[in-house]
Amino acid sequence: MTRPDTLRIALAQINPVVGDIAGNLEKARAARATAAAGRADVVMFSELFLSAYPPEDLVLKPAFQDACRAACEAIAADTADGGPAVLIGLPWLQDDKLYNGYALCDNGRIETVRFKVDLPNYGVFDEKRVFTPGPHPGPIVLRGVRIGVPICEDIWGPDPVECIAETGGEILLVPNGSPFRRRIMDQRFNVAVARVTESGLPLVYLNQMGGQDELVFDGASFVLNADGSLAVQLPAFRDAIEIVEFSRVGGAWRCAEGPKARVEEGDEADYLACVLGLRDYVGKTGFPGVVLGLSGGIDSALVAAIAVDALGAERVHCVMLPYRYTSQDSLNDAKACADKLGVRYDIVPIAEPVEGFMHALAPMFAGKAADITEENLQSRARGTILMAISNKFGAMVVTTGNKSEMSVGYATLYGDMNGGFNPIKDLYKTQVFRISHFRNSVVPEGCLGPSGEVIPERIITKPPTAELRENQKDQDSLPPYEILDDILESLVEGEMRVGDVIARGHEAATVKRIEHLLAIAEYKRRQAAPGVKLSRRNFGRDRRYPIINKFRDRA
């Protein structure tokens, strides 16, 4: 058999849906048709594409395993037409063991399957819970070319790639389910360059795209040549199908220069992750749109902008829910924000339900001074009204609390915490301010909202307040946000000792108080809506603390 001198690979960076095996199969078939039109030899899909990633404990259901295998056999049968081969991921049951598998389909059948070796079991990953690690993989023969297919985590250590290189591998094709977090692209490149340098082989890094619960997969797939140079860069946060061509030159394979998309970083990447996370959560769960309380404050204004950019103004409903402490400035600012975004905007006063609750409770509360109870009644009345609007019209309630509030419990259960999803859950308050400025300056790629100022400047510059009592300001209860957020980031992302946080220049009493509030708010966070993961440690899959917890760092 004559060995080929070229190999054309279609990289299918597309958005699967967990559990929608039939839908994922149809997406794979459509991508294969595109690959065939472009004369590709093979089309490559991301890790566990047929089930989508991560399937969690769903993957343990025998019926689910059967459906994934049937879908793989169906697309394998398609390859009898002589068109492109298929490389596709799925859970694979063999000898009563379940593997994270990657199948080569060609000539009308499943030719071979390779299994993931290094199963991640940290942060958001739980693969050791459901999968068995596979043996170190040798290369597979794809139309005369010896291809290595280490799966995602398999390239984060040297051994699987070393095994492929030592057994004659010529090109590394790496399917990934790598979720977005800040600065992740630098880490991916560093890991990929290390494997290329060690093995002397070119590498294709193909990543999943799309939102799944609190995770956002950003795509941003790329190709490195054996000298570590970047040959192709696909966009982040968007579907893409790109055909890349490898040629054999002097016995070694090299990828031809192709498109190099700009990959967003910093606040722009965070914003696009929030937009994609909300868009896919709403779309994949089947809601027609969203409803939220628009208070005239910066958090709800930013969430409204994200919602419009994700779904379009016609699918976003904003409701102002004023009470006696709501200022005229807040009424004006909320209306101005809604007008700039072009959304439906209604005003529903809450005086009657709040005072109804107070009247009903008056005999029991007789002789008791007003306190946070009455403040929470306002928040819960708002939450009940928003949920009623959701029930009546079908739109999902989105919540608007930021990470600073979630950290210290500055939020009301069954009130402003009501809702199905929170796109800014992993943004500290200082980041909310910064990203609001960013969105006023640019419309990022793929966003559906208007250009120009969408969050009125006064919303950004005025002192934050919950407006639950006269002249209330957030800093009546909390340190200034630039101080609070540095303490929180040190404690949450950094897991620093209290003494080390104090050594950063913070007052000891303030740090100890914030550490205490962080601990006792765990029961609230456990009941909070899911939200987009942006940081190294979000509240959710990343950080799993007990609710009952008597430990305190006494410094």
Active-site residue numbers?
47, 116, 152
Bridge partners, residue 145, by sequence: 142
Beta-strand relationship, 396-397 and 97-106? unpaired
DSSP of 514-536: HHHHHHHTHHHHHTSPPB---SS
221 is in an annotated binding site: no
400 is in an annotated binding site: yes
Residue 153 carries which DSSP code? G
Residue 461 sits at φ, ψ, to 5 deg, of -95, -20
535 is in an annotated binding site: no
210 is in an annotated binding site: no
299 is in an annotated binding site: yes
Residue 158's CB is within 10 A of a number of other CB atoms, namely: 13
Contact between 10 and 142 under an 8 Å Cβ cutoff? The reply is no
Helices 351-365, 372-393: axis angle to 10 degrees equals 140
Report d(CA 424, CA 417) in Å as an integer: 12
Report d(CA 519, CA 500) in Å as an integer: 18
Q: What angle do CA 193, 199, 204 make, to 5 degrees?
A: 55
Dihedral angle computed from the Cα positions of residues 173, 177, 179 and 185, in that order, rounded to the nearest 10 degrees: 0
Q: Give the closest residue to 17 by CA, choosing from 41, 46, 43.
A: 46
425 is in an annotated binding site: no
Q: Give the closest residue to 529 by CA, choosing from 424, 386, 445.
A: 424
Helices 508-520, 481-492: axis angle to 10 degrees equals 60
376 is in an annotated binding site: yes
Residue 262 carries which DSSP code? P
Residue 200 carries which DSSP code? -
178 is in an annotated binding site: yes
107 is in an annotated binding site: no
- 482 vs 270, 478, 489, 534, CA distance in Å? 19, 11, 11, 19
451 is in an annotated binding site: no
Binding-site residues from annotation: 122, 178, 293-300, 376, 400, 405, 524
Binding-site residues from annotation for deamido-NAD(+): 376, 405, 524
Binding-site residues from annotation for L-glutamine: 122, 178
Binding-site residues from annotation for ATP: 293-300, 400
